Every structure is written in structure tokens, then in C-alpha cells.
Structure 1
Amino acid sequence: EQVVPLLEMARNIQKGEADKERWIKTLKNFKTFWEEERFHEAKND
């Protein structure tokens, strides 16, 4: 079993947080885009 230095662990956690933030942002953008598309379709009906 290899021992990961504490600093590297901390860096990985920070990177994970950044990835999570980016992922959440992407999902929110997609949700907004999707709702706007649905809204336009509903208006055109």
C-alpha cells in the first residue's frame, strides 16, 4: 500500500472541488438552456 503525501491529497481534494464546481455550473447552464428551449416551443405552439 503506497502512502500518498498529505500535500498531494490536499491538492487532489482541491482539484476535485474545482471539477465538481465546473460540473454543477455545466448542469445549471444546461438546465437553463433546456428550460428556455421548452419556453420558446411553448410560445410557438
Structure 2
Amino acid sequence: MPILKLNGNIHWLIVERSLEGCSCRTIARQLNIRRSRILGVDDI
């Protein structure tokens, strides 16, 4: 596996772990996106 791909995978594992257990509202605020994009639902 190329180093860049490995670094990218590790990066997203760290992001996943840091967001684990956070509410959708907190995640949406951190990513500056609508909460519905986190849940994959249009109307909440």
C-alpha cells in the first residue's frame, strides 16, 4: 500500500475515533454542515 494512501487511512481512523459518541449537532457544527447531511435524511 502506498504511503499516501496509508496516511489517509490513518487520518480518517483518527477522525472517526474523535467523532465517535458525539451528537449529530456537534459533528455538524464542527464540520460546518447541516445536521441532515450527517444523518442522510432531508427533513429532520
Q: Decide which structure has the larger Cα Rg and report it.
A: 1
Larger relative CO (CA 8 A, sep 6+): 1 or 2? Answer: 2
TM range (shorter): 0.3 to 0.5
Write 1 or 2 for the structure with the bigger share of helix. 1
TM-score (norm 1): 0.45
TM-score (norm 2): 0.46
